[in-house]
Every structure is written in C-alpha cells, then in structure tokens.
A and B are shown apart, each in its own frame.
Chain A
Amino acid sequence: MQVKTPDRATAEPPVRTDPQHRRPRALLWHSRTLQGLAYATPTAVFVAVLFVLPLLLVGQMSLHDWPLLAGDQGSNAPENYTDVSDSTLFWPAVRFTLLYTGIVTVVLLGLALLLALLVQESRPGAGFFRTVYFLPGALGLASASLLFWGMYSPTTGPLSRTLEKLGLVDDPVSFLGTPTSALLSTVFLVVWKFAGFYMLILLVGLQRIPHELYEAARMDGASRGQIFRSITLPLLRPSLALSLLLCVTGSLLAFDQFFVLTKGGPDNSTVTVVQLIYREAFQRLNLGTAAALSILVLAALLLLNALQFRGLRHADES
C-alpha cells in the first residue's frame, strides 16, 4: 500500500496512477488551500490597493516636482529630500514632537496604570468609574480638540471666566498664549481623552494575573510595593508594551490637537512634523516635498518601532 504524505503546504496533490483511488483527503486539502486563498484575496486586495499602492505613489511623488494645483511635473530627485532641512521649522518641529511624545507617554501611561489599579477590584462603583474614565475616548480627537478650544478661549470660554469669578485671577487666562502653557494645555487634553483607553488595555492585562500569586506573596509577607514591583509590573509587560507602542506612535504622529488648538502657535512653538507635512501640501501647495517629508517620518517611525520591539523582547527574554 502506498503511503503518500504531502508534507508541504505547497506540495502538489500526490500523483496517482489510479484515478479511481484518489484519496478524498487530498482533494479536500487541495480545495481548502483554494478556499483559504479565496478568503485571503479580498484582504490582500484591500491592503494592496489601500496601502501598498498609495505608499508607492507617495514614494513616486517624493521624487517628482509635484505642485498640488498643476500636477506631476516630472522627476526632480533628490531635491525634495535635500530641501527638507532647508525649512527653518523642520528641526524645531522634530525636537518638539519628540519632547511632546516623551511627556505624553510618561504622563498618560502613568495615569492609566494608576486608574487601572484603582478600578481593577470588583468593588461597588468600579464599573461606574471604569465607564467614566473611558467616556472621553468615545469622542473623536478633532471634536475633543474643538471642545477644549472653546473651553480654553480667554474671552468666551468657561474656564477663564470661572477662574475670574472665583477671584483666583484678575485677567482672563490665556491657556494657549505661551509656548509652555500651550503645550501643557494640549497634553491635558490628550491625557483626558486617552487615559481611559490605555486604562482598559492595562486593566485587561491586570486581570490576567492569577490571584494565587498575590495571595502567595501576601502570605510570604511581601509589602504592596514589593508585590507591585515583583509581580504586577513584570506580568503586565505585554500590556505595557502594547500601550507604549501605541502611545509613542500616536504621539509622534500628533496633528489634530495642535492643528485645532494652536495651529502650531504661539510663534511656531507647537509645530509637529505632521503639521509640517500638512503645511507643505496645502499651504505651500507642494505635494512633492510633502511626500518626501512623509517618507522620512515613516522611516523614523519604523526605526523607532523596531527599536521598541527589540528592547521589549530582550526585556522579556531576560
């Protein structure tokens, strides 16, 4: 009796000399491969058309002289790339974006962890607070930014007027009027909006830690701090890693909040790299340079993400 074992997914169905004895299993396997391909095709088409093609197009744009209104004018490589650093706003924007990312990541993840620890027990009211903390996440970022823009307005917003009425300040407070206050006000908005979201991620991670570990540690006389450092944090690593990745990527690509609240002001102190891309494309009407900038941001993101993955994996293995 012949025993044929196709051992590779791409193996051809076994060659039979006797057509009437085709094994039904092989036929089924062959049709399952086709089925799998059929199910995967729409996704592949999606990815190809909505991601790969635009990416290639942006790459092409970055190598061409491409004004927004007049269209493709032909190649001018690598001018778009070398011109990037000519803009006086480029390096300050890079520095500011990195600074902002650092601040937001630390504050946001720290607060999210705290909130998750607070609501992880099934105490009465925990469910209510979980909802309340998460609620701001249901707003779109642009809507939230508009909301806060209205609130921060020194002349028409409620915050300033309340502070004046309470006698805490004499003049209308300009929350977005200086570089520092603009940055902190925006950080406040972002933390308010996303703390609940990251709290949820960390909450899921917290709830996966087996209670027996805590009990065992408590029986051994460990303090809360020791428990937190030696049990909670290490076992929370995957959730923390995910949160870190999302937070860093999102912050590096920050645009909506700054565009709505400050438009990069006051005095170009809150310009982020994505805002530079927007400005290149729609103010300076030049898609070629905007595309070059986009490719550079993409490269930086890929690099940073690769580094994060590597760092977290090493930490895991150790």
Chain B
Amino acid sequence: MGSPPGSQGRLRGRSHEPVRRLATAAVALLATVGLATACGSGDGGSEDDGTKAADAKGVDDGATLTMWTRAATRPQSEALVKAYNAGHENKVELTVIPTDDYQAKVGAAAGAKDLPDLFASDVVFVPNYTSSRLFADLTDRIDALPFADDLAQSHIKAGTYDGKKYVVPHTLDLSVLFYNKDLYRKAQLDPDKPPATLADWDRQARAVDALGGGVNGTFFGGNCGGCGVFTWWPSIWAAGEDVLNKDGTEALLASGTAQKVYDTYRGWVRDDIVAPGARDETGVTWTGVFPKGKVGVMPMPSTTLGLMPKDLDLGVAPIPGPDGGKSTFVGGDAIGISATSDKTDQAWNFLAWSLGDKAQVDVVAAHKDVVARTDLASNKYSKADPRLVTINQLVADGRTPYALKFGQTFNDPNGPWLTLMRDAVFGDGAKVEKDNEAVTASLAD
C-alpha cells in the first residue's frame, strides 16, 4: 500500500522536528498578527462642524497640530512654529519636506486621506489643491480678521476658488537682484547704482566677470524650471507684459520681450560670464553660489537675505526689464487647514496668530523676511535695514502667476518649460516658438 503524496514518512523520529514545527508555527502566527495590525488604518477624524461660530482667534487648548512645510521656506516656518509653541498651549509639530518631493508627498497623502492638520503649499500649486478640495473653507475666518484687507492679496487670490477663500499667506518669497558691493568696487562700478535695465545688468555682470581670479558675473539654475520662472519672468513683467493668459491655459513665452531676456542670458552663457555649474544646476544648490562671494549680481530669493554671511557686503535691487521697470515673482508659501482635519479651531489659532502684529514683526520681520501684511511693510526692523524696505515695497509691483497645470508644466524636470529654457539659453534659441507651443499644450491639458 502506498501513502498519499505529501506525507512521505516524515513522521519517523526526527529529533528536531517538533521544534522546527513550533518555530514555523510561531513565524506563521507572527506574520498573521503583523498583517492584521498593518492593515489597521489610523482613526478617521470626526467631522468638524464648519458652521461653528468662527472665532477670529480660534481655540488654544493644548492640542497637538501636525504641519508640513517645504524645505525651501524652512527657516521661516521653523521660526514661526518655535515662537508659537513657546507662548501657547497648542503645540505644532512641524515636518519639513524636500522641496522637490513636496507635490508628490501631498498628492500621496491626499489620496490616502492622510494629510496633516496644517499644510503650507508653494503658492503656485495652491489652485491644484483648492480645486481638489483639499483645504477647509476659511472665508468667514479670514474675513473676521481685523487686518483682512492688508494681507498679501496675490496669495489670497491664488487660494480663492469658486468665490471661497482657502489659504492665508505664510511666507513671502520675492525674487530680487542681490549684488556684491565689494566686487562692484573692485570692478570700478558704483556700489549704490544697481542695474536699472537689463542692459545695465548685462554691463555690470560683464564688468565684474572681467576681474577674473575665480570671480564670475552672474549665476542661474540652468536645469531648474522653477528657478527660471522665479528669476526670468519678472524681467518680462517689468516691461508690462504677461507670460500667461488670464486663465493660465496659454503661454506667451515666445514674445519679443521674452526673447530679449533669453538673448541676454544666452550671451552670458556663450561668453562664460556665468559661474560654473549653471548648466547642471537642478535647483538644489542654486542659492549657495552667491554667498561664497564670487558672483557679481544675480536674482535671489528674498528669504535668503537673513541667511547671508554677515561679512558679505550685499545690496538688493528690483529685477529690471529690458528698458527699465521693476517687478518680482511673489512666491513663497500659502497655508491652509486640511479639509479632513478635526482640529480646525486649534489650527486656526496658529494661523491667526502667525498673521498678527507680534508674529509678523517680531518673528518674520526680525529675520529680515517680507511681512505678509502691507500695513506692516514699514516696521522697526525694516526701518533699520533699507534693503528690507526695498523688498517690502516690491510686493506691490510683483505678480503671482495662476495656472492649474503649473507644476507639470513649469516645475517638472521633464516638462516643456525646462526644454524651452535650455533651448533658448544653451542652444541657439531658434526653437523657442515651437517650445512655447508645447508649454501651451501642457497648460491646456
């Protein structure tokens, strides 16, 4: 008689057989338990009653709030959170996420309905989030603020969808020209006369570059779409022109003014006026070149002013257009409360405080950053540093572009804007019209 397959006489006295079976059973048990607990999801938040009386100050009752911010605006967020935690019972737990990964992380968390209570967002991505209903409606709360009208309106507008307001300004990051006064003096340039036109800028950059000895005229992130929109578009706006149509579905980046900007940059690349590494710079280290003190003049984020070395004698100036004018890219982060949070009142407590006088003057302005309220543009700190006055005043001349498909068109390293940038500046510039059509196609997608 045979035995059924699968039971071939393993029963004969193998001394370690029982131990092995026990071990296997234990592993199987552990695996099943592990599987069961891993499948358990976090508890869903209770629905917040949005019609509760919108207290303009929110509630401070010792809640723990989770908050996300981008690495690019980390110093500002950290300073605000630290000051808030020191003086309130609520505690904000801040997580800083690498700038490049931020969109992806928010997207993934949104898909899993696992967003933190508060999350900041690059202001150009806010239309994405408001149209996907990721933020809680803050219209009543914002309107109840005594200084509602003085908040940076470009941020409020970016966060308005279907007539409702969803975000408030968190950090403002403007693009301004930084120039090295020491190098200017060495190059026999007047350190108090920064460029007023694109041609001035060209001339001064070349003069500094002629100093040699490792010194370069300028620098830019040549493999970074976000850097391009931040630093090149103000020159087009300064000439009074637009880069996108009103709805953000069409690109005007092959216009005559735009071409003049590209021509200037292309000339710099051709004549080696640009510091090395520009062609490969993906945006990770583009702000680390100027502080080394070997670059003459380049557009930089205003949020880096407070982080410059103390011994670097630098001046700031608005970004000029081909024939003059001035403008800036009003970037930075707006912040909102996620629609799935169950601590809306406590989260609002933080937001309302962050826009109040004390936070804006003693934290934001003290760090040499741009304040989010135009009524505080001239405060005790900005008065002490005329550069801050220049920057604060620029907010009125600056713009924040609006496009639903901003990220995938302009920030995507494989997107059409980066192709246009590199063709225009590292190529011969002949394909700009065609590239512009690709940008429009992506915006209208």
What is the interface of chain A, defined by CB distance below 8 A to chain B? 3-9, 11, 25, 28-29, 32-33, 36, 38-39, 41-43, 45-46, 49, 67-71, 89, 153-156, 171-172, 174, 176-177, 263-268, 271, 275, 278-279, 281-285, 287
Per the bound structure, the CA–CA distance linking A156 and B284 in Å amounts to 12
Chain A residues contacting B44 (CB-CB under 8 Å) are none
In the complex, which residue of chain B has the Cβ closest to the Cβ of A279? B414
In the complex, which residue of chain A has the Cβ closest to the Cβ of B438? A88
Say yes or no for B128: interface residue by CB 8 A criterion.
yes
- Within the complex, what minimum Cβ distance (angstroms) separates A301 from chain B? 23
Contact of B28 among A33, A39, A287 (CB under 8 A): A39
- Please choose the segment from B185-193, B273-281, B384-392 that sits at the chain A interface, where 4 or more of its residues have CB less than 8 A away: B273-281
In the complex, which residue of chain A has the Cβ closest to the Cβ of B105? A282
Say yes or no for B430: interface residue by CB 8 A criterion.
no
Near A by CB (< 8 A), chain B positions 35-91 give 35, 39
Contact of B277 among A155, A267, A278 (CB under 8 A): A155
Known contacts A7-B2, A266-B223, A268-B414; is A32 also within 8 Å of B32 by CB?
A: no
Say yes or no for B99: interface residue by CB 8 A criterion.
no
Near A by CB (< 8 A), chain B positions 100-122 give 103-104, 107-108, 110-111
Q: A68-B107, A265-B414, A283-B415 are in contact. List 11 more A-B contacts (CB 8 A).
A: A25-B3, A29-B4, A38-B28, A45-B32, A45-B35, A154-B276, A172-B276, A172-B277, A264-B413, A283-B414, A285-B103
Say whether A32 contacts B6, CB under 8 Å.
yes
Known contacts A154-B276, A172-B276; is A285 also within 8 Å of B129 by CB?
A: no
Say yes or no for B422: interface residue by CB 8 A criterion.
yes
19 A-B pairs whose Cβ atoms sit less than 8 Å apart in the complex = A5-B1, A5-B2, A6-B4, A7-B4, A9-B6, A39-B28, A41-B32, A42-B29, A70-B132, A70-B133, A153-B277, A154-B280, A155-B289, A156-B285, A171-B276, A264-B414, A266-B223, A285-B103, A287-B111
Say whether A11 contacts B35, CB under 8 Å.
no
Say yes or no for B144: interface residue by CB 8 A criterion.
no
Say yes or no for B31: interface residue by CB 8 A criterion.
yes
Contact of A28 among B11, B104, B407 (CB under 8 A): B11
Say whether A263 contacts B413, CB under 8 Å.
yes
Say yes or no for B264: interface residue by CB 8 A criterion.
no
Known contacts A46-B35, A283-B407; is A71 also within 8 Å of B111 by CB?
A: yes
Say whether B419 contacts A268, CB under 8 Å.
yes
Per the bound structure, the CA–CA distance linking A49 and B35 in Å amounts to 9
Closest 8 CB pairs of A and B: A69-B132, A282-B104, A263-B413, A155-B277, A68-B107, A42-B31, A42-B28, A70-B132
Contact of A68 among B111, B276, B289 (CB under 8 A): B111
Say whether B24 contacts A39, CB under 8 Å.
yes
Say whether B280 contacts A3, CB under 8 Å.
no
Say whether A8 contacts B4, CB under 8 Å.
yes
- Within the complex, what minimum Cβ distance (angstroms) separates B34 from chain A? 9
Say yes or no for B182: interface residue by CB 8 A criterion.
no
Say whether A29 contacts B7, CB under 8 Å.
yes
Near A by CB (< 8 A), chain B positions 400-422 give 407-408, 411-415, 419, 422
Say yes or no for B287: interface residue by CB 8 A criterion.
no
Say yes or no for B213: interface residue by CB 8 A criterion.
no
Per the bound structure, the CA–CA distance linking A153 and B31 in Å amounts to 44
Say whether A266 contacts B280, CB under 8 Å.
yes
Say yes or no for B307: interface residue by CB 8 A criterion.
no
- Within the complex, what minimum Cβ distance (angstroms) separates B445 from chain A? 8
Chain A residues contacting B108 (CB-CB under 8 Å) are 68, 282
Per the bound structure, the CA–CA distance linking A25 and B3 in Å amounts to 9
- Within the complex, what minimum Cβ distance (angstroms) separates A246 from chain B? 25
Of B2, B4, B129, the most chain A CB neighbours within 10 A belong to B4
Of A5, A177, A285, the most chain B CB neighbours within 10 A belong to A285
Say yes or no for B163: interface residue by CB 8 A criterion.
no
Say whether A265 contacts B223, CB under 8 Å.
yes
- Within the complex, what minimum Cβ distance (angstroms) separates A298 from chain B? 21
Per the bound structure, the CA–CA distance linking A89 and B415 in Å amounts to 10
